[in-house]
Amino acid sequence: MEGVSAELEKRISEAFCIFDHVGDKTIDVREVGTVLRFLGCAPTEKEVNDVITQTEMEDSGGEVHLTKFLPYIMHLLIDRRMEPAGPEELLAAFHVIDEENRGYLDPEYFSKLMMEEGEPFTQEEVDEMLAIAIDPLSGQINYEYYLNQLMVIFEKFSSLLILYITFMYALYYNFALFHNLKKKKKFKTKSTTEKTRFMKWQHKQISKKLDKLTSKPDNLDWKLHN
């Protein structure tokens, strides 16, 4: 159990640090939902707000510190809170929506549900779903096929997603550092050592993801070149 807790603590800390642009173990409250989703959670907006309420530093101007975030999120993850629905649950939900049991849904009906019921999605988010969900031959949403597609995408590209997010934030951090130095302004980190440690950590994470991906090329259906 101690080993599991230590691994979970490490995973939460690493995810948190990716979104710590300053390097002082704090993140903006607006990043909390992103960190949770990065950890594989599927929180509602209410759950995100609850986490912010429980972890936000007093008189901080909207910041969350790792020392308060870590134990609270560990407790949530151990209790398996905010877990995304599995394929069986999603399929059951589609069956409820598909009142005539046809095995498919009309895109307009699906869009209306997504944007008007529960926690509404934006038009852009729905369009992204439909780009994968609609069968080009029938023009309908075969939801069993759609769920299979989602699982394939998740399994094959989750590592690439983590790599992409890590890399983009590394670029953001390094560009901000360069921009501030160029303007002869002190970048808001406590020391050069912290900056170096943070950048080395990011490089290590990117290298590990690249090694994992390139060591098993047969697991990917796409190629990097034609």
Tell me the C-alpha to C-alpha distance, in Å, between residue 120 and each of 1, 92, 111, 125, 126: 39, 20, 10, 10, 10
What pLDDT does 153 receive? 64
Domain assignment of residue 120, yes or no: yes
Q: Is the pLDDT of residue 84 over 70?
A: yes
Domain assignment of residue 74, yes or no: yes
How many CA atoms within 13 Å lie on the side-chain side of 192? 1
Residue-range definition of the domain harbouring residue 60: 2-78
Domain assignment of residue 27, yes or no: yes
Q: From 35, 56, 78, give the residue that closes a domain.
A: 78
Task: Note whether 15 and 70 are same-domain residues.
Answer: yes
Domain assignment of residue 225, yes or no: no
Average pLDDT, the chain: 74
Domain assignment of residue 188, yes or no: yes
Task: Note whether 128 and 70 are same-domain residues.
Answer: no
Per-residue pLDDT of 11-63, as tens digits, reads 999 889 888 888 889 999 999 988 888 888 888 888 999 999 999 988 778 99
Per-residue pLDDT of 170-185, as tens digits, reads 454 554 444 454 444 4
Q: From 121, 145, 169, give the residue that closes a domain.
A: 145
Which of 29-33, 56-60, 149-153, 157-161 is the least confident region?
Answer: 157-161
Q: From 32, 53, 78, give the residue that closes a domain.
A: 78
* pLDDT band for position 93 (cuts 50, 70, 90): confident
Average of per-residue pLDDT across 137-159:
78
Domain assignment of residue 131, yes or no: yes
Task: Note whether 96 and 54 are same-domain residues.
Answer: no
How many whole angstroms separate alpha carbon 226 and alpha carbon 61?
A: 50
How many whole angstroms separate alpha carbon 137 and alpha carbon 128?
A: 18
What pLDDT does 18 receive? 84
Domain assignment of residue 226, yes or no: no
What pLDDT does 37 receive? 84
Strands 104-105 and 141-142: antiparallel
**Vertex 78: Cα angle to 73 and 82 (nearest 5):** 65
Give the domain CATH number at 36: 1.10.238.10
Task: Note whether 96 and 126 are same-domain residues.
Answer: yes
Task: Note whether 43 and 96 are same-domain residues.
Answer: no
What pLDDT does 53 receive? 94
Task: Note whether 113 and 164 are same-domain residues.
Answer: no
Task: Note whether 32 and 68 are same-domain residues.
Answer: yes
* pLDDT band for position 214 (cuts 50, 70, 90): very low
116-130: burial string, b at 16+ Cβ within 10 Å, e else: eeeeebeeeebeebe
Task: Note whether 66 and 16 are same-domain residues.
Answer: yes
Task: Note whether 128 and 183 are same-domain residues.
Answer: no
Number of domains in the chain: 3
Task: Note whether 7 and 63 are same-domain residues.
Answer: yes
Domain assignment of residue 161, yes or no: yes
Q: Is the pLDDT of residue 219 over 50?
A: no
Q: What is the pTM of this model?
A: 0.54
Question: What are residue 63's DSSP bridge partners?
Answer: 28
Q: Are 17 and 144 in contact (CB under 8 A)?
A: no
Average of per-residue pLDDT across 100-114:
92
Task: Note whether 72 and 18 are same-domain residues.
Answer: yes
Task: Note whether 7 and 73 are same-domain residues.
Answer: yes
What pLDDT does 201 receive? 52
Which of 166 and 65 is assigned the larger pLDDT?
65
Which of 11-20, 92-101, 147-156 is the least confident region?
Answer: 147-156
